[in-house]
Amino acid sequence: MTIKSFIFNPFQVNTYVLHDETNEAIIIDAACQEGHEQEAINAYLKDNNLTLKMLVNTHCHVDHLMGVKYLATKYDAPFAACKDDYYLMANAPDQAMMFGLEVDLPPDMNQYLKEGDALKFGNSELQIFQIPGHSLGSIALYSKADGVVFAGDVIFKGSIGRTDLPGGDFEILIQGIKTKLFTLPAETVVFSGHGPSTTIQAEHDTNPFFNQ
Ligand SMILES: [Zn+2]
């Protein structure tokens, strides 16, 4: 599996394009807001001869949703996320307005993802973990074959997601990270929603939220 990352919009969200030898692709957290950001995605898909099969969101905070409507419409691609984040979808434009930004209302979810699901594209498969606490419907997507996990805003290099927004819960987030992420193989690479990648080992051993 090839992983291409982009950093988009004023919130500096990591958008990931995943594809494999079949040339099927999915996009995790399509955050491309401005025209040149959308064009960067279009160019990458075209240059690599990729077929976009699905848009997937780790969660539905507005900064992670900014390109979903555009790409879903342009490529006629379905949108998948956890149903528990539905409460964030309807007010995405209001969330954006608070920051002085405009955002298209994201399309309805075409597929709901939940704990234990396997999301497949091409020859690749991602296992879904539900890890609430940053938002009610936050998920992580784990590829066992590639040893990578896409964690959204659940965990960052040296930090964790904020828990002071609606649906946030600090204890539940900590518990979810311990029981679901920290039980993955230590060498698993973690791709977060913001900032650089890290590993399960590094966060287990040095993340200040788990090491006092
Ligand atoms: Zn978030």
Write out pLDDT tens, residues 35-88: 999 999 999 999 999 999 999 999 999 999 999 999 999 999 999 999 999 999
In the DSSP assignment, the letter for residue 116 is: T
Helix (H) or strand (E) holding 128: strand 124-130
- 161 CA from centroid of ligand 1 (Å): 7
Cα–Cα distance, 43 to 92 (Å, whole number): 27
pLDDT for position 90: 77
How buried is 170 (Cβ within 10 angstroms: 0-12 exposed, 13-18 middle, 19+ buried)?
A: middle
Closest listed residue to residue 27, CA positions, set 61, 60, 72: 72
Mean of all residue pLDDT scores within the chain: 96
CA of 85 to the centre of ligand 1 (A): 11
Distance 49 CA to ligand 1 centre (A): 31
| pLDDT, average across residues 89-109 | 82
For residue 175, the CA-to-ligand 1 centroid distance in Å is 18
**pLDDT for the residue numbered 195:** 98
φ, ψ of residue 129 in degrees (nearest 5): -115, 135
Give yes or no for residue 22 having a pLDDT over 80. yes
- Would you say residue 200 has pLDDT above 90? yes
Q: Residue 8 C-alpha to ligand 1 middle, in angstroms?
A: 14
Per the listing, tokens 């609430």 go with: 132
Sign of CA dihedral 87, 88, 89, 94: positive
Q: What is the pLDDT of residue 121?
A: 98
Q: Which helix (H) or strand (E) covers residue 28, if one does?
A: strand 24-28
Q: What is the pLDDT of residue 73?
A: 96
Q: How far apart are CA 127 and CA 56, in angstroms?
A: 13
Residue given tokens 């784990």 in the structure block:
142
Ligand 1 centroid, distance to 206 Cα (angstroms): 22
- Within 10 angstroms of residue 50's Cβ, the number of other Cβ atoms is 23
CA of 65 to the centre of ligand 1 (A): 10
